[in-house]
Amino acid sequence: MTHLFLRATVGAFALALLAPSGTDAQTTPKTPWGDPDLQGAYTNKTITPLERPESAGDQVFLTSEEIASQEQARLNRNEELLLAPAQRTVAGGDVGGYNNVWLDGGTRPTGRTSLISDPANGRMPPRHSAAVTRKAAHDASFPVDGPFDSWEDLELNDRCLVWSAGPPMLPSAYNNNFIIMQTPGLVAIYVEMIHDFRMIPLDRPGHVPTSIRQWHGDSRGHWEGDTLVVTTRNLRKTTANAGAVGGDPVLLRIANGSDEDTITVTERFARLDDTTVHYEFVISDPTHWTSDWTGEFPFVALPTGEQLYEYACHEGNYSMPNILGGERQRELEARTNQP
């Protein structure tokens, strides 16, 4: 498999990563032109869930014993799946997978009980009733099991177009690696998942007109001290993709066919030490949620020798003709079985 070789700083996944925003853990290194230097190859993989499990109640941080226990449980599960015997898949069933050979979601928690830090319960705020109605109507129109009349009825990630590049840049089941690069006036982020690339111009006034939508939105960045602040608007929403915004698993939930310019995502990147960039995001959509909500977690430098691999996924690969071919076969059988 083609890959990009990276020289990455050695880094361990520290447990005290979630310092409050704006905390200066050390003097931030500078680029040759004087901007704070965030450059490097990082991973954000973690087993910490986006939302706090209800069983955790009001607990915000894990104890050291709970951290060790959760990590050991994940290691044990990975080993169990690795040693599991092959299983035959029944035709028409979920092909799935019986081990983790293609997955790399990490084994360590961040130290919090959830990635969401606000609201205080660690969960997304309630949705407006109109948003609930929009989602129900959309789900009825686009059921998960089809029908798939064309490729446009499939998710953007099924089509190998975009996935979890953000915003926000959330951990996924695999390919949780990123390269941050900087030039004067520009920050670029290469995303391992589906080879996405985010281009963030700095100190450029205003966003493009709201009539111009992009799957990753229109981002503008500026420096607040040593923190890079990125504001993204004009996120494209597509009816056939459950309102998918870049295929992001969070923003998938919200548009449901409405293409009004109501979503704003604000991200903050701040270097904590040689191996850690603290990442925070705020999502605002007054037409969907009853309040804004915030999440935070670390980006940790990849260990020396670890590489970013090319995600060779492209629209028109085997899955697309197979899914559509299966749908055409179902239609043929339905017509053939008519009395």
Arithmetic mean of pLDDT, 243-259: 46
Local confidence band at 123 (pLDDT 50, 70, 90 cut-offs): very high
Checking if the pLDDT of 243 tops 50, the result is no
Residue 25 has pLDDT above 60, yes or no: no
The H or E element that residue 231 is part of is: strand 227-233
pLDDT at 248 exceeding the cut of 70: no
82 pLDDT higher than 80: yes
Which of these, 167, 203, 170, 247, lies nearest to 33 by C-alpha position?
Answer: 203
Q: Which residue has the higher pLDDT, 337 or 225?
A: 225
Whole-model pTM: value is 0.84
Residue 246 has pLDDT above 60, yes or no: no
94: confidence class by pLDDT, cuts 50, 70, 90: low
Look at residues 153, 193, 172, 174 and name the one whose alpha carbon lies nearest to residue 320: 153
DSSP 172-219: -SS--EEEEEEETTEEEEEETGGGEEEEEEBS--SPPPTT--BTT-EE
> Which tens digit of pLDDT belongs to each residue from 182-229?
999 999 999 998 878 899 999 888 898 888 888 888 999 999 999 999
With 90 as the cut, is the pLDDT of residue 61 above it? yes
Ramachandran class of 37: left when φ > 0, alpha when ψ lies in -120 to 50, beta otherwise: beta
Residue 243, domain extent: 3-62+109-336
Q: Which residues contact 320 (CB under 8 A, 6 or more apart)?
A: 151, 154, 158, 159
Instruction: Kindly give the pairing relationship between strand 177-183 and strand 40-43.
Output: antiparallel
pLDDT of 45: 94
Would the CA dihedral through 241, 243, 249, 253 be positive or negative? negative
Higher pLDDT pick, 93 / 13: 93
- Whether residue 329 lies inside any domain: the answer is yes
Mean pLDDT in residue range 311-324: 80
Spatial contact of 324 and 158, defined as CB atoms under 8 Å apart: no
Decide if 220 is inside a domain. yes
pLDDT higher at 99 or 186 = 186
What would the two tokens of residue 181 be?
């690069």
Residue 298 makes CB contacts below 8 A (sequence gap 6+) with: 13, 14, 17, 18, 44, 110, 272, 276, 277, 278, 279
Residue 90: inside a domain: no
Residue count (the chain): 339
Q: Looking at the domain assignment, is residue 246 inside a domain?
A: yes
Q: Between 239 and 91, where is the model more confident?
A: 91
Q: How many domains does the chain have?
A: 1
Domain membership flag for residue 151: yes
Q: What does pLDDT average to over the chain?
A: 81
Contact 268, 227 (CB under 8 A): yes
Q: Give the span between the Cα atoms of 43 and 299, in whole angstroms.
A: 5
Highest mean pLDDT among 127-136, 237-246, 294-303 belongs to 294-303
Copy the structure tokens of residue 118.
Answer: 């606000």
Q: Which of 31-35, 121-125, 271-275, 323-327 has the lowest mean pLDDT?
A: 323-327
What angle (nearest 5°) sits at the alpha carbon of residue 328, between those of residues 324 and 333?
Answer: 145
Is the pLDDT confidence value at 67 over 70? Answer: yes
Closest by Cα among 113, 135, 132 to 122: 113
Q: What is the DSSP string of 290-331?
A: SS-EEEEEEEEEPPTT--EEP----TTSTHHHHHHHHHHHHH
Cα 234 to Cα 248: distance, rounded to the nearest angstrom = 15
Residue 52 within a domain = yes
The string of pLDDT tens digits covering residues 125-151 is: 998 898 888 777 767 766 777 778 888
> To which residue do tokens 């989602």 refer?
135
pLDDT band of 155, cuts 50, 70, 90: confident
Distance CA 287, CA 47 (A): 31
Look at residue 17 in the predicted model and tell me its pLDDT: 38
Question: Percent of the chain beyond pLDDT 90?
Answer: 43
Averaged pLDDT, 293-313: 89
Answer whether 41's CB lies under 8 Å from 302's CB: yes
